[in-house]
């Protein structure tokens, strides 16, 4: 992994505009940091780094880590970050699955804007390295949310937060979840979500779309896997309509 950037520049940078999706993540983090929940925040798969930059600029934690596997994105980001004190952030051109987290700090690890399957691949490598340590994650998968949810459920992640956000006509799930939770007060992350309210237009539209999606997939290859997932969503829908 490359070493953290170390140059500085005095020009005050313009804060990036956050769209509704990243704003929703930011607002949850801002609320969590009112009680100083996290020392270190990891903007994994950061791309342009907009979310991490806002967290850094607002001094929401001790250190922000920007991680992306594409080196030139990280080089561009380093130039953008040069105004900020180097001790407040770190940039890494790395695969997020290779990250390891010190047990001396409380970490929030953001994995947003990548598919659910990719998020699971990252987790599969990270979690075995932290068998006892509690780690908090904030997810906003771009696709295949079920794969991520099912994995979180199987790994007994505790649910911290879940909501929906709509940006440019697309609906996204936001899921905050804790690995190795010691609290029995928190519910487990469910395979389809605990927060559905079919009187809410967004929830209704989103679940309808998901069910139609898996119905279509039962006609293609991997039909039995699609049917398995469809049955789970259908049961959720039925519980909501005829509890």
What letter does residue 203 receive in the DSSP assignment? H
Sign of CA dihedral 134, 140, 143, 144: positive
Min CB(169)–ligand SAM separation in Å = 16
Piece of the chain touching ligand SAM by CB under 6 A; list 8-16, 40-48, 128-136, 191-199? 40-48
- Which residue in 32, 41, 64, 67 binds ligand SAM (CB under 6 A)? 67
73 binds ligand SAM (CB under 6 A): yes
Work out the number of other CB atoms within 10 angstroms of the CB of residue 220: 8
For ligand SAM, what does the binding mask look like between residues 142 and 181, x meaning CB under 6 A? ----------------------------------------
Instruction: Please tell me whether residue 112 binds ligand SAM under the rule CB under 6 A.
Output: yes
Q: Is 99 in the site for ligand SAM (CB under 6 A)?
A: no
Beta bridge partners of 174: 163
Torsions phi, psi for 235 (to 5 deg): -65, -40
Indicate which single residue of 29, 32, 45, 148 sits in contact with ligand SAM (rule: CB under 6 A): 45
Query: Which one, 97 or 155, has the nearer CB to ligand SAM?
Result: 97
What are the phi and psi torsion angles at 174 (to 5°)? -115, 130
Quick one: which of 137, 150, 146 has its CA closest to 115?
Answer: 146
Cα(87)–Cα(90) distance, integer angstroms: 8
- Asked if 120 is part of the footprint of ligand SAM (rule: CB under 6 A), the reply reads no
Cβ(207)–Cβ(168) under 8 Å? Answer: no
Residues that bind ligand SAM (CB under 6 A): 22, 45-47, 67-70, 73, 95-97, 112-114, 118, 122
């Amino acid at each position: 992994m490359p070493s953290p950037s170390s140059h500085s520049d005095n020009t005050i940078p313009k804060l990036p505009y956050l769209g509704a999706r990243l704003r929703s993540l930011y607002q949850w983090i801002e609320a969590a940091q009112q009680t100083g929940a996290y020392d270190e925040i990891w903007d994994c798969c950061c791309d342009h780094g907009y979310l991490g930059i806002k967290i850094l600029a607002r001094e929401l934690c001790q250190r922000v880590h920007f991680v992306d596997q594409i080196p030139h994105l990280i080089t561009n980001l380093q130039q953008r970050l040069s105004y900020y004190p180097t001790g407040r952030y770190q940039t890494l051109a790395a695969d997020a699955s290779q990250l390891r987290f010190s047990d001396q700090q409380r970490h929030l690890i953001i994995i947003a804007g990548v598919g659910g399957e990719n998020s699971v691949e990252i987790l599969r490598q990270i979690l075995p390295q932290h068998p006892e340590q509690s780690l908090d994650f904030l997810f906003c998968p771009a696709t295949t949310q079920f794969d991520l949810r099912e994995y979180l459920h199987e790994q007994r992640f505790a649910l911290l937060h879940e909501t929906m956000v709509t940006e440019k006509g697309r609906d996204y799930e936001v899921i905050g979840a804790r690995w190795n939770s010691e609290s029995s007060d928190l519910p487990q992350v469910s395979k389809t979500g605990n927060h559905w309210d079919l009187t809410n237009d967004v929830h209704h539209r989103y679940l309808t779309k998901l069910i139609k999606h898996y119905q279509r997939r039962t006609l293609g290859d991997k039909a039995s896997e699609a049917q398995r997932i469809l049955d789970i969503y259908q049961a959720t829908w039925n519980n909501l309509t005829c509890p």
